[in-house]
Chains A and B, each alone.
Chain A
Amino acid sequence: MTTGEVLVIAAAAAVFIIINIIMWSIIAKKERKTNGSGASRSKMTSVPLSEVSAAAAAAGFELMENTVIVHTDDVISD
């Protein structure tokens, strides 16, 4: 193997390594981005109902009289 051939192989290997580094760094960046937006979606779904209801429910809804009389603790599950 001549010196020229060795240099070509070394250059190809170097280019291959550089391309891999660039490719994996792009992939890693995309994954971080995906994970980041996933976390924000999770936050959105976990907003307590009370916070949502404050916007949607009738303003100032307040129970005045609240009497419920039943004569069993049993319930029929759905």
Chain B
Amino acid sequence: MEYIAACDTDVGIAKKINQDSVCIKTAKTNTGRAALILVCDGMGGLSRGELASAEVVRSFAEWFDRELPFELPEWDWHTAAHNVISRLRRLNAKLVAYGRRECMQLGTTATGIIAVDSQFMTFHVGDTRIYKVSDKLSQLTDDHTFVNREVKLGNMTPEEARIDPLRNALVQCIGVTDDVFPEVKLGDLENGVNYMICSDGFRHVLTEKELFEELSPKKLTTKADMQKQLRQLIDTVKDRDETDNITAALFRPEL
């Protein structure tokens, strides 16, 4: 069994600060593998978004290094899911309290994958997305945006949502409201499939067809392939005048 992962991020062509944070960690034990892939998109309209995203990424990175080794011998996915939700809620409270203390608003999305051996968990708050790229492209997360909620309620069509001025407005993220309801899903990893986590800046100007073709598991099988392709796609996104920060991470389990 092997886990392959790569990531890349770019400030983009318009902003002075990259407010995104990203983390990829993989580890091996005597009995298997573990991985953490996490992308956090600091809120563009809010001050200190880079601090918000950094706090979340650092917290999960420290968990992977310091706590996961103790949790693995008695690993239980339902306990792990509970702990991830608790961690996200603690981070939310911390950022909300900091914002009130400093009279500023800061927030971030938090979308990640935790994999242990042949199973995985996704956790998600905001509009950063996880895609599974196999023989087709599947979106594994649900955007926590105003327009997505309106589409689900039948108040708006997907076409209207794409051009709505509020298409980027989030209904929940980490650090803005007093409570947060993370979406957590459990599943089995599929062999030779690429999982991709990306900020909205990465995907806005790329079509689903392009994402599928360029991130195909047949095309990207090594870390070097993944790294090179992510940089090429980021350059394409910049050429198409995307103004947001651009971040993506790829994860491929070889079971």
- Whether the pair B69, A71 counts as a contact (CB closer than 8 A) is no
Q: From DSSP, what is the main secondary structure of chain B's interface residues?
A: mixed
A53-B69, A57-B70, A76-B51 known; A65+B25 contact, CB < 8 A: yes
Is there a chain A Cβ closer than 8 Å to B172's Cβ? no
Contacts of A65 in B (CB 8 A): 3, 5, 24-26, 35
- Whether the pair A76, B31 counts as a contact (CB closer than 8 A) is no
Q: A75 CA to B3 CA in the complex, in Å? A: 31
Is there a chain B Cβ closer than 8 Å to A9's Cβ? no
Q: Mark B27-64, 1 if CB is under 8 A from A, else 0.
A: 11111000100000000000000110111011001000
Q: From DSSP, what is the main secondary structure of chain A's interface residues?
A: loop
Q: A39 CA to B94 CA in the complex, in Å? A: 39
Q: A78 CA to B50 CA in the complex, in Å? A: 18
Q: A67 CA to B50 CA in the complex, in Å? A: 17
Contacts of A60 in B (CB 8 A): 28-31
Q: A8 CA to B9 CA in the complex, in Å? A: 98
- Nearest CB of chain A from residue B57's CB, rounded to whole Å: 6
Q: By CB atoms of chain A within 10 A, which of B23, B24, B31, B54 has the most?
A: B54
A58-B72, A76-B94 known; A68+B57 contact, CB < 8 A: yes
Is there a chain B Cβ closer than 8 Å to A61's Cβ? yes
- Nearest CB of chain A from residue B88's CB, rounded to whole Å: 15
Which residue in chain A gives the minimum CB-CB distance to B40? Answer: A70
Q: A68 CA to B24 CA in the complex, in Å? A: 7
Residues of chain A in range 5-49 having any CB-CB distance to chain B below 8 Å: none
Q: A71 CA to B15 CA in the complex, in Å? A: 13
Q: By CB atoms of chain B within 10 A, which of A60, A63, A64 has the most?
A: A64
- Whether the pair A57, B69 counts as a contact (CB closer than 8 A) is yes
Which residue in chain A gives the minimum CB-CB distance to B2? Answer: A64
Q: A66 CA to B9 CA in the complex, in Å? A: 15
Instruction: List residues of chain B with CB under 8 Å of any chain A CB.
Output: 3, 5, 7, 9, 17-31, 35, 50-51, 53-55, 57-58, 61, 65, 68-70, 72-73, 94-95, 98
**Given pairs A58-B70, A76-B95, 4 additional interface contacts (CB within 8 A):** A57-B70, A59-B31, A62-B29, A71-B17
Q: List 10 A-B contacts (CB under 8 A).
A: A60-B29, A61-B27, A61-B72, A65-B25, A67-B22, A68-B61, A69-B23, A72-B51, A74-B51, A74-B54
